[in-house]
Amino acid sequence: MAGGFGANTVASRQRQMILDTLKKGGLGTPTISGSAAPFYSVVDNGVGDYNINPLSGSTFAQIPEVTATVKTNDRIVRIGTVTKLAIQIITEDLAGAAAEADFDLFISGCLAQDLIS
């Protein structure tokens, strides 16, 4: 599905919970697509190393939960460092060397600081 997992962004206004789906594509210059793409940017840190960053106003109140699925054959995707401001994604070939790959992300988080206990 061209828009990632085929799910729309889900938001709870009362609880300010966010469920986002993103698809990273493109070799060389990466792009992100999906219903949540306007709320994130992607930074290419080098071969197989990407940061997905929420844009201003979409910063999480706590570290979000992230699931990644690789979409390129013979590749592995790992979730690196995750903070409220950035999600690091690492892609490798089957031997463990850094390699370009496409992947899908599912991100779950909360925007409301007062709802965090």
Burial of 58 (0-12, 13-18, 19+ CB in 10 A): middle
Residue 33 covered by a domain: yes
What's the pLDDT at 116?
54
What's the pLDDT at 40?
92
What's the pLDDT at 45?
94
What's the pLDDT at 6?
47
What total of structural domains would you count in the chain? 1
In this prediction, the residues of the chain whose per-residue pLDDT falls under 70 are 1-15, 113-117
Report H helices in the chain.
none
Q: Are 55 and 43 in contact (CB under 8 A)?
A: no
Residue 52 domain boundaries: 10-115
What's the pLDDT at 11?
55
Residue 5 covered by a domain: no
What's the pLDDT at 99?
96
Residue 22 covered by a domain: yes
Residue 16 covered by a domain: yes
Residue 3 covered by a domain: no
Q: Is the pTM of this model over 0.85?
A: no
What's the pLDDT at 9?
57
